[in-house]
Chains A and B, each alone.
Chain A
Amino acid sequence: MFTKLSLVPTFKIHHVTRYQYEFPVRESANQILLFPIRDEYQQVAKQELSISGEPMVDIYKDFYGNEVGSFMNAEPHLELVIDTKTEVITTVRVLPSDDVPAEIQWEELKRVHTQFPFIDFLKQEQFNALDEVSEIVQSLESRLHTPLLAAKQLNEYVFRNFTYNKGITSVETTLDEIWKLKAGVCQDFAHLLLVMLKTIDIPARYVSGYICPHKNGMRGEGATHAWVEAYIPFYGWLGFDPTNNCIVDGVHVRLAVGRSFNDCSPVKGTYKGASSHTLDVGVSVAYEDGETSAEAPTLLVPQPVKVNNLSSNSYRRYMEMMQQQQ
């Protein structure tokens, strides 16, 4: 009993997002989803949020239950730094027993498919390769298994058939592009698994968060991570991480859930000004369970930034430009 308690891990997550502008920008408005979900599997022991310029942050809950912070900075500024230090305690899950016959489980999925909140998580995204993706899912004969095993199988399919490759995709990359490249990062892997699960009518939602392994070596460290939750009949939402080919259990910290990346984007904003920006992000996780502990430095890593088509008239550019930062 005592040893078990002491093994409940505490993760100390330090997350820094820094935008820098060549010339002063103004009228920035921003939205952050950096507040971990609080439920039976994760508790937030402590959170410190600091933002350059010290704006007043308004926090509210969105449609999917995520806590969202919003703030502005109207005055000219050269930098925006968002810094969170969060302590999260996760609890190990009881995994689904999966002893209900497969047909009954698929029947149950059929029953809920027109109900809230599942409707939103079954709506299929349209893209050119959808038919091809559906055929592959059909050929795997996932429907012969239970939904849990089918989800595991698709999770593994994405892991095995796509190469983890940083820097070749961005948040703008479309599904068709990912499908052609057969490569990407966690958000692309998650995006694909979402689509595949929906082709066999398993409700699936996008999750953004952090991965906090006891030892280094998992994909998705040093930045925010993304994975998928599938709805398992008679159990509930269960996380699948196609980037690491595992079921989510104890080492993932959830920040937000939604239909897609757009619902869960950890930091986004707009500003006005004739300047492009650079973005650096760092996430470090220190780990403590009473027996082992680790300290980690937070390294800021430059991120690819979408290049806007800048008009050649810099006055008009200054007057009209509304930039998005993601």
Chain B
Amino acid sequence: MQTSELLNNYDVDAGTWDEMYKDSAVREQYRAVVDFMQQLSVEELNKKEELARGLFMTQGITFTVYSSGEGIEKIFPFDIIPRIITASEWSYIEEGIKQRLKALNLFLKDVYNEQFIIKDGVIPAEMIYSCPHYLREMYKFPVPYDIYVHIAGIDLIRNSDGSFYILEDNLRTPSGVSYMLENREITKRLFPDLLPKNNVRTVNEYPNILHKNLVSLSPRQIANPTIVVLTPGIYNSAYFEHTTLARMMGVELVEGRDLVVDNHRVYMKTTAGRQLVDVIYRRVDDDFLDPLIFNPNSMLGVAGIMSAYRKGNVAVVNALGNGVADDKAIYAYVPAMIKYYLNEDPLLRNVPTYQLSKPEEKELVFSNMNKMVIKKTNESGGYGMLMGHSASDEEIYNYKQEILKNPRQFIAQPIISLSSSPCYMNGKLVPRRVDLRPYALCGPNGVEIVPGGLTRVALKKGSLVVNSSQGGGSKDTWVLSV
């Protein structure tokens, strides 16, 4: 292995699994990329980086950070070095996610119908009923094909021995898939030869599979059902994604005010009059979807939509009420669900999770705060969490007081040292921590996962927080076919 300027400063943090390096040697899957990079001068690499930044800017690939004052729409930072996953790693991840989604769908069907899992004492009733996302409005509600989760973003991380863990399930309106697609397009522009040379599997089937699944849910058995993407509008953090997906699928992008419900059917207002809508891929949260049933002040939804949905006159994707399955306290029970519904052992492991509502687990967590990350059960995007190893005594004290007020709202997990992956920064390759969010699509014929996903990067040295809302960036994610 020839060393060069590029790799000189590549110091893997002790006790960390590095995606590229193993015992000071480059892993097989990264060799071609590293060799290629070494042929390029720093000037050439900088040019590539600049090109990538320019493409993101001109194409408006942005996201929005809430509560940061002005200029909230930001370019999503992109690192030009791909994150590479081997064929065997991928097949393991794929099987693991399929298994997990199967169980989560069965769980949702069960908690909104017979509740066998509660009756058999596998999950305490309190756990379900105290979850604010358990929607009583979904009880005994007929859902087409019994599919609740049509689109899932499952977050995976690797610990120091390289084994994969599920960090969280995102089953409501997971976002980020447009960045997966755009990142690949950028890589094609930057390194056109590298993708075929490395046998990288394509991700561009995603919009087609999603579209095919949406068509299959249409209540009307016609060739061209009307499908819409329902967005909360331009101020939503993922508006870029809503426009991208609608464009890629060739369907209408609508806001709540473009739709009307009449006689238990949903119509889209067009210049040629009303058009019956068959399938709604909604990116509006449950609580805002129907002001008649949920938040009466919502301007983002459509009054009466739940009635059309209940009567089977329109399909809504994802189903409502999925939040009970990706609640961080319910997460701890997913391995038990897999065992209960499928009679299988979970392929992908959970991060050990302590319920702060259980007194003995709370004691354990309170006496080991510096080794724990504590999260709110109903928050996502990295908001409201405490990283015990970097928090001050005062922060820990205040957080404990918060927990004591409502322990059900918190869980704790041991801090997992995420794996690192090379990033190109200031002419050098440096290790930065990453996670992985593959996107799974569930249709009447089963679960399909495009080989890839969104790799998020913590851009600060040593940081373990990858959320884009907390200053993370992303990488193209390669899954190799051989």
| Smallest Cβ-Cβ distance to B306: which chain A residue | A70
Query: Does A324 interact with chain B (Cβ within 8 Å)?
Result: yes
Q: Does B400 contact A (CB under 8 A)?
A: no
Contact between chains at A29 and B303 (CB < 8 Å): yes
Contact of A63 among B136, B261, B262, B264 (CB under 8 A): B136
Stretch among A2-10, A11-19, A53-61 lining the B interface: A53-61
Q: Quick one: closest B residue to A324, CB to CB?
A: B296
The smallest C-beta distance from B113 to any residue of chain A, in angstroms, reads 12
Binary contact track A29-72/B, C-beta < 8 Å → 1, others 0: 11100000000000000000000000110101111100000101
Residue-by-residue, is A105-146 near B (CB-CB < 8 Å gives 1, otherwise 0)? 000000000111001100100000000000000000000000
Asked whether any CB of chain B lies closer than 8 Å to the CB of A319, the reply is: yes
Cα–Cα distance between A211 and B261 once the two chains are bound (Å): 35
Tell me if B257 and A320 are in contact (CB < 8 A).
Answer: yes
Which of B257, B263, B303, B310 counts the most A-chain CB atoms under 10 A from its CB? B303
B479 CB to nearest A CB, Å: 43
**Chain A proximity of B358: nearest CB distance (Å):** 14
* Smallest beta-carbon distance A55→chain B, Å: 7
Main secondary structure of the interface of B (DSSP, over half): loop
Neighbouring A residues of B304 by C-beta, 8 Å: 29, 70, 72
Q: How far is the CB of A121 from chain B (nearest CB, A)?
A: 11
Q: How far is the CA of A120 from the CA of B299 in the complex (A)?
A: 29
| Alpha-carbon separation in the docked complex, A106 to B307 (Å) | 41
- Asked whether A31 lies within 8 Å of B292 as measured between CB atoms, the reply is yes
CB A117 to nearest CB in B, in angstroms, measures: 9
Residue-wise interface mask of A (134-175) relative to B, using a CB-CB cutoff of 8 A (1 in contact, 0 not): 000000000000000000000000000000000000000000
A119 to B281, CA, bound (A): 34
B32 close to chain A: CB less than 8 A? no
A288 vs B458: C-alpha distance when bound (angstroms): 76
Q: Which of B125, B262, B303 contacts A116 (CB 8 A)?
A: B125
Q: Which residues of B contact A123 (CB under 8 A)?
A: 129-130
Is A72 in contact with B291, judged by CB distance below 8 angstroms?
no
A29 to B125, CA, bound (A): 33
Q: Complex: how many Å from CA A324 to CA B129?
A: 28
Q: Is the CB of B311 within 8 A of A58?
A: yes
Q: Which of A29, A56, A60 has the most CB of B within 10 A?
A: A29
The CA-CA distance from A139 to B125 in the complex, in Å, is: 32
Number of residues on chain A facing chain B (CB within 8 A): 30
Residue of A nearest to B259 (CB): A27
Q: Is A78 an interface residue (CB 8 A)?
A: no
The answer to whether A62 and B137 touch (CB under 8 A), given A269-B292, A322-B291, A322-B299, is yes
**B101 CB, nearest partner CB in chain A, Å:** 26
Q: Does A74 contact B (CB under 8 A)?
A: yes
Q: Which residues of A contact B124 (CB under 8 A)?
A: 114
The verdict on A268 contacting chain B, using a C-beta distance below 8 Å, is yes
Report A-chain residues with C-beta under 8 Å of the C-beta of B136.
62-64, 120
Q: In the complex the two chains form, is B126's CB within 8 Å of A114's CB?
A: yes
- Tell me the smallest distance from the CB of A205 to a CB of chain B, in Å: 13
Question: Measured between alpha carbons, how far is A62 from B130 in the docked complex, in Å?
Answer: 19
Q: A84 interface residue, CB < 8 Å from B?
A: no
- Is A270 engaged at the interface, CB distance under 8 Å to the other chain? yes
Could you tell me the distance between the alpha carbons of A258 and B27 in the complex, rounded to whole angstroms? 61
Residue contacts A-B, CB under 8 angstroms, 17 given? A29-B261, A30-B292, A31-B292, A55-B263, A58-B307, A58-B310, A61-B140, A62-B139, A70-B307, A72-B304, A74-B260, A114-B126, A116-B125, A123-B130, A270-B291, A322-B291, A322-B298
17 other A-B residue contacts (CB within 8 Å) besides A31-B293, A74-B262: A30-B292, A56-B264, A58-B264, A62-B139, A63-B139, A70-B292, A72-B307, A73-B262, A74-B260, A119-B125, A119-B130, A120-B129, A120-B136, A123-B129, A269-B292, A324-B291, A324-B296
Top 5 nearest A-B pairs (CB, nearest first) are: A29-B304, A74-B262, A29-B303, A63-B136, A70-B307
